[in-house]
Chain A
Amino acid sequence: SSELTQDPAVSVALGQTVRITCQGDSLRSYYASWYQQKPGQAPVLVIYGKNNRPSGIPDRFSGSSSGNTASLTITGAQAEDEADYYCNSRDSSGNHRYVFGTGTKVTVL
């Protein structure tokens, strides 16, 4: 299957830790990348590769992967982290195409 499945929504108390997961067969072959999207804005890359952050992304964002599951962890969530988060990876079925996860809405309480 080329689907990437995410929990629709999670909530986290201010300053606490939240983990967002992404499951799919393609993750056994390719690392996921993660994107943060706030309302009315374009997605922003927050994690790629094994656990790489682009310049300007706070170090409270981290990534990990095991088997068919990729995870994005926000350690010490801030109010500004409230957003939709999408995972993405290359399809492993043979076509060179990309698949996005279903998205997770993170609410910071």
Chain B
Amino acid sequence: QVQLQESGPGLVKPSQTLSLTCTVSGGSISSGSYYWSWIRQPAGKGLEWIGRIYTSGSTNYNPSLKSRVTISVDTSKNQFSLKLSSVTAADTAVYYCAREDYDYVWGSYYFDYWGQGTLVTVSS
């Protein structure tokens, strides 16, 4: 059973860089044709996809955040990471990491495993 766990500081100062790591257990991050995503949710609001990475290092980012986001992968540690620069209070949210799978029969993308989420607050 694949499990994902987010880790990182729960408090970040405005204008600084938010850094989170997602550790994958129960399987190798390099096995299968999976992408690995970051998704966030401000309190009381909906979900927002941030970006994704393949174990080759190939990435895709949400255009609304692209200028501030970097996602990287460390296959030796079975981890992938998120960096979001120049944060403001609007970046305060629960951040989730998730595994993306693709159904080749129906051409459907979906997120089948999620971490429990970690709250990051941007405040001085």
Distance to closest chain A CB from B3 (angstroms): 11
Complex Cα gap A96–B63 (Å): 10
Complex Cα gap A98–B108 (Å): 12
Report the nearest A residue to B116, measured CB to CB.
A42
Whether the Cβ atoms of A43 and B107 lie closer than 8 Å is no
Specify which of B37, B39, B48, B111 is in contact with A33 (CB 8 Å cutoff).
B111
Q: How large is the interface on A (under 10, 10 to 19, 20 to 34, 35 or more residues)?
A: 20 to 34
Complex Cα gap A84–B76 (Å): 37
Q: Which residues of A contact B108 (CB under 8 A)?
A: 30-31, 33, 48-50, 52
Whether the Cβ atoms of A100 and B96 lie closer than 8 Å is no
Given A44-B114, A97-B60, does the pair A31, B47 have CB atoms closer than 8 Å? no
Given A31-B107, A50-B106, does the pair A97, B112 have CB atoms closer than 8 Å? no
Whether the Cβ atoms of A97 and B62 lie closer than 8 Å is yes
Tell me the A residues contacting B by CB distance below 8 Å. 30-31, 33, 35, 41-45, 48-50, 52, 54, 86, 88-90, 95-103
